[in-house]
Amino acid sequence: MKSLSLLLSLLCCSVRAAAPDPWSELTRRDVDAAYALIKENHPGSLDDNNPKFRVWLEEGHRAALVRAGRALSYGGWYFTLKGFLTGFKDGHLGFYSTLTQDAVLWPGFIMALREKRYVVHSAAPGSAGFSALPAPGAVLVSCDGKTPEMLLKENVFPFWGDEALGSSWIGAAPMLLLDRGNPFIKRPEKCAFDTGGTRRELVLDWKTTGDAEIGAALRAAGFGSKPALGVRPFGKDAFWVSLPSFAPEGEELAAMKEVIAKAKDLRKASVIVFDLRGNGGGNSEWGNEIMDNLYGKAYARRLSEPSGSETVDWRVSEGNLQYVRAACAGLLAEFGADSEVYRGFREAEKGMAQSLKQGRAYYREVREPARPQDVTDDASGGGPVSGKVFFLTDGRCASACLDFADGMLSEPGVIHIGQATLADTDYMDVRGVELPSGIGRLSVAMKVHRNRRRLSGQAYVPRYVWEKDIWDTEGLETWVLSLVGL
């Protein structure tokens, strides 16, 4: 990570001397670059089925250039780009900074959304220099005459998440009374709280802190830290399978292979919990391999097959082709030449190369559902699992995690518990591109699904919802065992 202080010492030399402010010019360059990258590489910029994408590409670009004129700091640069890209409401079209941010303004306590109320989740002690603070559990009624929902819509959702998704409200709540240097919002000054029926007003005392000081509390107020990847017993003949990522590296890679190897033996268990807390995606092939071993490949593929003919259009560009070509080498090493994911990318590479020569905008890949006569039960005894199977998610489940949910939740015996997932659009398979400033990266999808079984923007909502701290593993274990008799 680059430090902000180092960048500032070099910044004036990296932009035109005629610029009214170096941050403003830097922001304008990155906004224009992001616009051009999306227009030239993203399938949405040519997608007649989604005209809203092109509308926001133009409107959002113009709005971001206006904001760039007011971007006189790192925060102005960051939130200008965040506002532009958040407007697409697509988790696969994103931006992140490679800088560390040293300072955060907060009023001495952090909010959370629990049991449909905005409550104080944690507070600094009075000895830290703050005046009297609301106690943990106090319910936020309003700030400056605005409800918590109104404040989130004004100060958070224009730059983060999607207010149409319930999971986004949980993730956004800890940001409710934080300011990371966003020049486009107004910080609340006075808030009213309810504690056991007693209402109290508090003038907020904003002070500077940093993620090192409040990072753990922020995570706890949201979804918490990710659990470790692996399989472990809990209770009698019950097993807990933690899958916090489908992009395993290092020790996680060995743990993932162990999960896959043990999946077949889990068929004999009375209770299985697939814990997807923290899983924001990765490569869906890992989920496919787990399902193949758990249910048998034939039955697993029946669960995962599209309901009709599914088409995938790859956006053809030189940049996308080069990325897919490089990805093939990595997939070959990770999954082998016989894997479906490698063969799929290899075909995409060939098709995109030919389409590029022919001047086509898309390379079309057609996926036909398996015919009944082509799918038979495994000789090894594949099919439904006799024990109780629970599928636990938090509000971070996205991308390949949703692909895994597509298959697992197609099995009628699987019980979805926890929190609602995130949702994605029909745009998939991203590649990262560095912006001209060198301090930010853009992620751009390369393909669009047609006729996908799960709709664009559709989240999975659990049958049984957990509204307490989703990171409370011990509490979740007790809860699951209480559900076993259902």
Q: Span 352-368, mean pLDDT? A: 90
Quick one: tokens of 68? 């760039």
Q: Span 267-291, mean pLDDT? A: 96
Question: Which CATH fold would you assign to the domain 224-296+383-418+453-486?
Answer: 2-enoyl-CoA Hydratase; Chain A, domain 1 (3.90.226)
Residue 293 has pLDDT above 90, yes or no: yes
pLDDT of residue 381: 62
CATH code: domain 104-221 is 2.30.42.10
Q: Span 284-308, mean pLDDT? A: 88
Residue 438 has pLDDT above 90, yes or no: yes
pLDDT band for 486, please (50, 70, 90 cuts).
confident
Q: Span 412-438, mean pLDDT? A: 96
Residue 14 has pLDDT above 90, yes or no: no
pLDDT of residue 372: 45
Q: What is the pLDDT of residues 48-76, one digit of tens each?
A: 999 999 999 999 999 999 999 999 999 99
- Rounded CA-CA distance 241/119 in Å is 31
Q: Which residues pair with 444 in a beta bridge?
A: 431
Residue 88 has pLDDT above 70, yes or no: yes
Residue 4 has pLDDT above 90, yes or no: no
pLDDT of residue 369: 58
Residue 420 has pLDDT above 70, yes or no: yes
pLDDT band for 212, please (50, 70, 90 cuts).
confident
pLDDT of residue 112: 98
pLDDT of residue 101: 73
Q: Span 204-222, mean pLDDT? A: 93
pLDDT of residue 73: 94
Residue 7 has pLDDT above 90, yes or no: no
pLDDT of residue 366: 76
Neighbours of 289 (CB within 10 A): 21
Q: Span 273-287, mean pLDDT? A: 96
pLDDT of residue 129: 67
pLDDT band for 2, please (50, 70, 90 cuts).
low
Q: Span 355-369, mean pLDDT? A: 87
Residue 388 has pLDDT above 70, yes or no: yes
Residue 5 has pLDDT above 50, yes or no: no
Q: Span 33-56, mean pLDDT? A: 97
Residue 9 has pLDDT above 90, yes or no: no
Residue 307 has pLDDT above 80, yes or no: no
- φ/ψ of 158, rounded to 5, equals -65, -15
Q: What is the pLDDT of residues 101-113, one digit of tens each?
A: 778 999 999 999 9
Q: What is the pLDDT of residues 121-145, one digit of tens each?
A: 998 765 466 778 999 999 999 999 9
pLDDT of residue 370: 52
pTM of the model: 0.90
Please determine whether the domains at 104-221 and 224-296+383-418+453-486 fall in the same fold group of CATH.
Answer: no
Give the residue extent of every domain in the chain. Answer: 2-13+20-92, 104-221, 224-296+383-418+453-486, 309-380
Residue 376 has pLDDT above 80, yes or no: no
pLDDT band for 367, please (50, 70, 90 cuts).
low
Q: Which residues pair with 209 in a beta bridge?
A: 104
Judged by average pLDDT, the poorest of 10-19, 118-127, 235-244, 331-340 is 10-19
pLDDT band for 373, please (50, 70, 90 cuts).
very low
Q: Which residue has the higher pLDDT, 410 or 12?
A: 410
